[in-house]
Protein backbone atom coordinates (compact mmCIF):
# COMPACT_ATOMS: atom_id res chain seq x y z
CA UNK A 1 0.00 0.00 0.00
CA UNK A 2 1.10 3.56 -0.56
CA UNK A 3 2.59 5.73 2.13
CA UNK A 4 0.60 8.73 3.24
CA UNK A 5 0.71 11.40 5.95
CA UNK A 6 -1.43 14.14 7.49
CA UNK A 7 -0.53 17.73 6.68
CA UNK A 8 -1.39 19.95 9.63
CA UNK A 9 -1.04 23.30 7.89
CA UNK A 10 -4.31 24.52 6.38
CA UNK A 11 -5.19 27.67 4.53
CA UNK A 12 -8.26 29.74 3.67
CA UNK A 13 -10.55 27.92 1.31
CA UNK A 14 -9.65 24.46 2.65
CA UNK A 15 -12.34 21.93 1.76
CA UNK A 16 -13.19 19.00 4.03
CA UNK A 17 -14.52 15.89 2.34
CA UNK A 18 -15.97 13.48 4.87
CA UNK A 19 -15.89 9.89 3.63
CA UNK A 20 -15.83 8.09 6.98
CA UNK A 21 -18.52 5.90 5.47
CA UNK A 22 -17.48 4.54 2.10
CA UNK A 23 -21.14 4.36 1.18
CA UNK A 24 -22.49 7.71 2.37
CA UNK A 25 -19.75 10.31 1.92
CA UNK A 26 -20.54 14.01 2.31
CA UNK A 27 -18.69 17.26 1.69
CA UNK A 28 -18.17 19.87 4.40
CA UNK A 29 -16.58 23.32 4.02
CA UNK A 30 -14.67 24.71 6.97
CA UNK A 31 -15.79 28.07 8.26
CA UNK A 32 -13.38 30.89 9.13
CA UNK A 33 -13.31 30.09 12.87
CA UNK A 34 -12.39 26.48 12.22
CA UNK A 35 -9.62 27.54 9.85
CA UNK A 36 -8.13 29.89 12.43
CA UNK A 37 -8.33 27.16 15.06
CA UNK A 38 -6.50 24.73 12.82
CA UNK A 39 -3.80 27.30 12.17
CA UNK A 40 -3.24 27.72 15.90
CA UNK A 41 -3.17 23.97 16.49
CA UNK A 42 -0.62 23.46 13.75
CA UNK A 43 1.77 26.18 14.87
CA UNK A 44 3.92 23.79 16.94
CA UNK A 45 4.47 21.31 14.09
CA UNK A 46 8.00 20.64 12.85
CA UNK A 47 8.67 20.28 9.13
CA UNK A 48 11.24 18.98 6.76
CA UNK A 49 11.93 20.70 3.46
CA UNK A 50 11.87 18.66 0.28
CA UNK A 51 13.21 19.97 -2.99
CA UNK A 52 10.96 19.62 -6.00
CA UNK A 53 12.50 18.95 -9.41
CA UNK A 54 10.76 19.67 -12.69
CA UNK A 55 10.80 16.00 -13.73
CA UNK A 56 8.46 15.22 -10.81
CA UNK A 57 5.66 16.72 -12.93
CA UNK A 58 5.86 13.48 -14.93
CA UNK A 59 6.00 10.94 -12.10
CA UNK A 60 3.28 9.42 -9.90
CA UNK A 61 -0.24 7.98 -9.93
CA UNK A 62 -2.19 11.13 -10.84
CA UNK A 63 -0.73 11.72 -14.29
CA UNK A 64 -3.18 12.89 -16.93
CA UNK A 65 -2.69 11.20 -20.29
CA UNK A 66 -5.01 12.08 -23.15
CA UNK A 67 -4.96 13.59 -26.64
CA UNK A 68 -3.49 16.81 -25.24
CA UNK A 69 -0.96 15.44 -22.75
CA UNK A 70 1.15 12.51 -24.01
CA UNK A 71 3.18 10.08 -21.93
CA UNK A 72 6.54 11.49 -20.88
CA UNK A 73 9.51 9.05 -20.77
CA UNK A 74 9.80 9.68 -17.01
CA UNK A 75 6.14 8.67 -16.53
CA UNK A 76 6.44 4.98 -17.38
CA UNK A 77 6.33 2.80 -14.26
CA UNK A 78 9.68 1.19 -13.52
CA UNK A 79 8.23 -1.92 -11.85
CA UNK A 80 6.38 -3.38 -14.86
CA UNK A 81 6.31 -7.19 -14.75
CA UNK A 82 4.91 -10.07 -16.78
CA UNK A 83 1.84 -11.24 -14.85
CA UNK A 84 2.09 -14.78 -16.18
CA UNK A 85 5.39 -15.13 -14.32
CA UNK A 86 4.00 -14.08 -10.93
CA UNK A 87 1.54 -16.75 -9.84
CA UNK A 88 0.78 -15.13 -6.48
CA UNK A 89 -0.32 -11.95 -8.26
CA UNK A 90 -2.79 -13.68 -10.57
CA UNK A 91 -4.59 -15.70 -7.93
CA UNK A 92 -8.35 -15.33 -8.35
CA UNK A 93 -8.39 -14.08 -11.94
CA UNK A 94 -7.16 -15.06 -15.39
CA UNK A 95 -4.96 -13.37 -17.98
CA UNK A 96 -5.72 -13.39 -21.69
CA UNK A 97 -2.27 -14.60 -22.69
CA UNK A 98 1.33 -14.87 -21.51
CA UNK A 99 2.17 -11.34 -22.64
CA UNK A 100 0.15 -9.30 -20.12
CA UNK A 101 2.31 -6.74 -18.29
CA UNK A 102 1.50 -4.35 -15.45
CA UNK A 103 3.13 -2.35 -12.68
CA UNK A 104 3.84 -4.75 -9.82
CA UNK A 105 2.42 -2.28 -7.28
CA UNK A 106 -0.79 -1.91 -9.29
CA UNK A 107 -1.03 -5.68 -9.74
CA UNK A 108 -0.91 -6.16 -5.97
CA UNK A 109 -3.68 -3.61 -5.44
CA UNK A 110 -5.74 -5.30 -8.15
CA UNK A 111 -5.27 -8.70 -6.52
CA UNK A 112 -6.54 -7.29 -3.23
CA UNK A 113 -9.60 -5.91 -4.99
CA UNK A 114 -10.33 -9.22 -6.75
CA UNK A 115 -10.07 -11.06 -3.43
CA UNK A 116 -12.75 -8.74 -2.04
CA UNK A 117 -14.98 -9.34 -5.07
CA UNK A 118 -14.58 -13.10 -4.67
CA UNK A 119 -15.86 -12.87 -1.11
CA UNK A 120 -19.02 -11.33 -2.55
CA UNK A 121 -19.40 -14.15 -5.07
CA UNK A 122 -18.05 -12.27 -8.11
CA UNK A 123 -15.14 -14.30 -9.45
CA UNK A 124 -14.90 -14.47 -13.25
CA UNK A 125 -12.40 -11.68 -13.84
CA UNK A 126 -9.71 -11.72 -16.51
CA UNK A 127 -7.11 -9.12 -17.49
CA UNK A 128 -7.17 -8.73 -21.25
CA UNK A 129 -4.58 -5.95 -21.55
CA UNK A 130 -2.17 -4.11 -19.30
CA UNK A 131 1.00 -2.15 -19.96
CA UNK A 132 1.88 -1.63 -23.62
CA UNK A 133 5.13 -0.30 -25.01
CA UNK A 134 5.02 2.41 -27.66
CA UNK A 135 5.76 -0.05 -30.47
CA UNK A 136 2.94 -2.39 -29.42
CA UNK A 137 0.58 0.58 -29.11
CA UNK A 138 1.54 1.79 -32.58
CA UNK A 139 0.76 -1.62 -34.10
CA UNK A 140 -2.57 -1.75 -32.27
CA UNK A 141 -3.48 1.74 -33.51
CA UNK A 142 -2.68 0.81 -37.10
CA UNK A 143 -4.70 -2.40 -36.88
CA UNK A 144 -7.77 -1.06 -35.05
CA UNK A 145 -7.92 2.57 -36.12
CA UNK A 146 -8.68 5.74 -34.18
CA UNK A 147 -12.19 4.61 -33.18
CA UNK A 148 -10.83 1.78 -31.03
CA UNK A 149 -7.25 2.70 -30.13
CA UNK A 150 -5.03 5.69 -29.39
CA UNK A 151 -1.70 6.59 -31.02
CA UNK A 152 1.49 5.49 -29.29
CA UNK A 153 2.30 7.80 -26.38
CA UNK A 154 -1.28 8.99 -25.94
CA UNK A 155 -2.69 5.89 -24.25
CA UNK A 156 -2.82 5.28 -20.50
CA UNK A 157 -1.71 1.74 -21.26
CA UNK A 158 1.74 3.19 -22.00
CA UNK A 159 2.06 4.18 -18.32
CA UNK A 160 1.63 0.83 -16.54
CA UNK A 161 -1.19 2.21 -14.35
CA UNK A 162 -4.14 1.06 -16.48
CA UNK A 163 -5.59 -2.29 -17.41
CA UNK A 164 -8.50 -3.73 -19.32
CA UNK A 165 -10.58 -6.13 -17.25
CA UNK A 166 -12.97 -8.62 -18.77
CA UNK A 167 -15.42 -11.28 -17.67
CA UNK A 168 -14.86 -14.92 -18.60
CA UNK A 169 -18.60 -15.29 -19.21
CA UNK A 170 -19.95 -12.22 -21.04
CA UNK A 171 -19.31 -8.62 -22.08
CA UNK A 172 -18.28 -6.35 -19.21
CA UNK A 173 -21.16 -3.96 -19.88
CA UNK A 174 -23.58 -6.77 -18.94
CA UNK A 175 -21.46 -8.92 -16.62
CA UNK A 176 -21.62 -9.01 -12.80
CA UNK A 177 -17.88 -8.33 -12.91
CA UNK A 178 -18.47 -5.07 -14.79
CA UNK A 179 -21.16 -3.93 -12.39
CA UNK A 180 -18.98 -4.80 -9.38
CA UNK A 181 -16.03 -2.86 -10.80
CA UNK A 182 -18.16 0.21 -11.46
CA UNK A 183 -19.60 0.19 -7.93
CA UNK A 184 -16.57 -0.89 -5.90
CA UNK A 185 -13.24 -0.33 -7.66
CA UNK A 186 -12.82 3.12 -6.06
CA UNK A 187 -12.57 1.53 -2.59
CA UNK A 188 -9.27 -0.01 -3.69
CA UNK A 189 -7.75 3.01 -5.43
CA UNK A 190 -9.06 2.30 -8.95
CA UNK A 191 -11.35 4.39 -11.13
CA UNK A 192 -13.44 3.61 -14.18
CA UNK A 193 -11.50 5.90 -16.47
CA UNK A 194 -14.01 6.31 -19.30
CA UNK A 195 -17.56 6.25 -17.90
CA UNK A 196 -20.69 6.52 -20.01
CA UNK A 197 -21.71 10.02 -18.89
CA UNK A 198 -18.32 11.72 -19.36
CA UNK A 199 -17.43 11.07 -22.99
CA UNK A 200 -17.62 14.79 -23.77
CA UNK A 201 -14.83 15.39 -21.22
CA UNK A 202 -12.58 12.36 -21.77
CA UNK A 203 -13.06 12.29 -25.53
CA UNK A 204 -13.21 8.50 -25.28
CA UNK A 205 -16.23 6.25 -25.76
CA UNK A 206 -17.65 4.34 -22.78
CA UNK A 207 -15.23 1.58 -21.76
CA UNK A 208 -16.59 -0.50 -18.86
CA UNK A 209 -13.44 -2.63 -19.00
CA UNK A 210 -10.77 0.08 -18.68
CA UNK A 211 -9.73 0.89 -15.10
CA UNK A 212 -6.92 3.11 -13.87
CA UNK A 213 -5.06 3.18 -10.56
CA UNK A 214 -4.90 6.57 -8.81
CA UNK A 215 -4.82 5.40 -5.18
CA UNK A 216 -6.74 6.44 -2.09
CA UNK A 217 -8.09 8.90 -1.10
CA UNK A 218 -8.20 10.21 -4.68
CA UNK A 219 -10.48 7.47 -6.01
CA UNK A 220 -12.89 8.05 -3.10
CA UNK A 221 -13.14 11.77 -3.79
CA UNK A 222 -13.62 11.17 -7.49
CA UNK A 223 -16.39 8.67 -6.82
CA UNK A 224 -18.16 10.94 -4.37
CA UNK A 225 -18.05 13.99 -6.64
CA UNK A 226 -18.60 12.03 -9.87
CA UNK A 227 -15.33 13.30 -11.34
CA UNK A 228 -13.26 11.83 -14.12
CA UNK A 229 -9.53 12.44 -13.88
CA UNK A 230 -9.61 15.62 -15.96
CA UNK A 231 -12.24 17.14 -13.64
CA UNK A 232 -10.50 15.98 -10.47
CA UNK A 233 -7.14 17.51 -11.36
CA UNK A 234 -8.83 20.80 -12.28
CA UNK A 235 -10.67 20.69 -8.95
CA UNK A 236 -7.46 20.21 -6.96
CA UNK A 237 -5.74 23.04 -8.80
CA UNK A 238 -8.67 25.37 -8.19
CA UNK A 239 -9.04 24.52 -4.48
CA UNK A 240 -5.24 24.50 -3.97
CA UNK A 241 -5.70 22.41 -0.81
CA UNK A 242 -8.37 20.02 0.46
CA UNK A 243 -8.62 17.86 3.57
CA UNK A 244 -10.35 14.48 3.49
CA UNK A 245 -11.68 12.41 6.40
CA UNK A 246 -11.96 8.71 5.60
CA UNK A 247 -12.04 5.60 7.78
CA UNK A 248 -10.83 7.53 10.79
CA UNK A 249 -7.91 9.14 8.95
CA UNK A 250 -7.46 12.70 7.74
CA UNK A 251 -5.64 13.29 4.46
CA UNK A 252 -4.57 16.63 3.04
CA UNK A 253 -3.88 17.14 -0.65
CA UNK A 254 -2.05 20.28 -1.76
CA UNK A 255 -1.29 21.51 -5.25
CA UNK A 256 2.09 23.11 -6.04
CA UNK A 257 2.72 24.73 -9.45
CA UNK A 258 6.05 24.05 -11.15
CA UNK A 259 8.51 25.76 -11.72
CA UNK A 260 7.27 28.37 -9.23
CA UNK A 261 7.65 25.86 -6.38
CA UNK A 262 11.22 24.92 -5.45
CA UNK A 263 10.66 23.32 -2.03
CA UNK A 264 7.70 22.08 -0.01
CA UNK A 265 7.30 21.65 3.75
CA UNK A 266 6.25 18.23 5.04
CA UNK A 267 5.50 17.43 8.70
CA UNK A 268 8.41 15.27 9.83
CA UNK A 269 6.12 12.81 11.64
CA UNK A 270 3.90 12.00 8.66
CA UNK A 271 3.78 9.74 5.64
CA UNK A 272 3.42 11.33 2.25
CA UNK A 273 3.20 10.80 -1.49
CA UNK A 274 4.05 13.22 -4.27
CA UNK A 275 2.56 12.90 -7.73
CA UNK A 276 2.84 15.08 -10.77
CA UNK A 277 -0.10 15.81 -13.06
CA UNK A 278 1.83 15.54 -16.38
CA UNK A 279 0.97 19.18 -17.01
CA UNK A 280 2.26 21.92 -14.74
CA UNK A 281 2.63 20.87 -11.13
CA UNK A 282 2.62 18.29 -8.35
CA UNK A 283 0.22 17.17 -5.63
CA UNK A 284 1.37 16.40 -2.10
CA UNK A 285 -0.86 13.95 -0.19
CA UNK A 286 -0.05 13.41 3.48
CA UNK A 287 -1.44 11.86 6.65
CA UNK A 288 -0.14 10.52 9.95
Of residues 104, 136, 207, 230, which has the active-site annotation?
207
* Distant-in-sequence, close-in-space partners of 255: CB < 8 Å, separation ≥ 6: 236, 237, 239, 240, 241, 281, 282, 283
Between CA 77 and CA 109 the distance in angstroms is: 15
C-alpha span between 172 and 194 (Å, rounded): 13
DSSP β-bridge partners for residue 273: 285
User: Is residue 109 annotated as a catalytic residue, yes or no?
Assistant: no
What separation in angstroms does the CA of 248 have from each of 6, 245, 274? 12, 7, 22
Give the Å distances, CA to CA, from 40 to 9, 33, 43, 256: 9, 11, 5, 23
Q: Please name which of 51, 52, 58 lies closest in space to residue 279, comparing C-alpha atoms.
A: 58
For residue 239, give the 3-state DSSP assignment: helix
Distance between the two ends of the chain, CA-based, in angstroms? Answer: 14
CA distances from 128 to 1, 72, 97, 168 (A): 24, 24, 8, 10
Catalytic residue numbers read 207
Amino acid sequence: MKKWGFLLVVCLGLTFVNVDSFFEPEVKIQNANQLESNKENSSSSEYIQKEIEEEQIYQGNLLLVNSEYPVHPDSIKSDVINLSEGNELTRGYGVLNSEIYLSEDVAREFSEMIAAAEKEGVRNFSITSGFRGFEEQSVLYQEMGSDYALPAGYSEHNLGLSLDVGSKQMKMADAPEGKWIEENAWKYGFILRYPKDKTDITGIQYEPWHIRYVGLPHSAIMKEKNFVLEEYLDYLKEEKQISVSMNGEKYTITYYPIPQTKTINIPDDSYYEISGNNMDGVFLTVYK
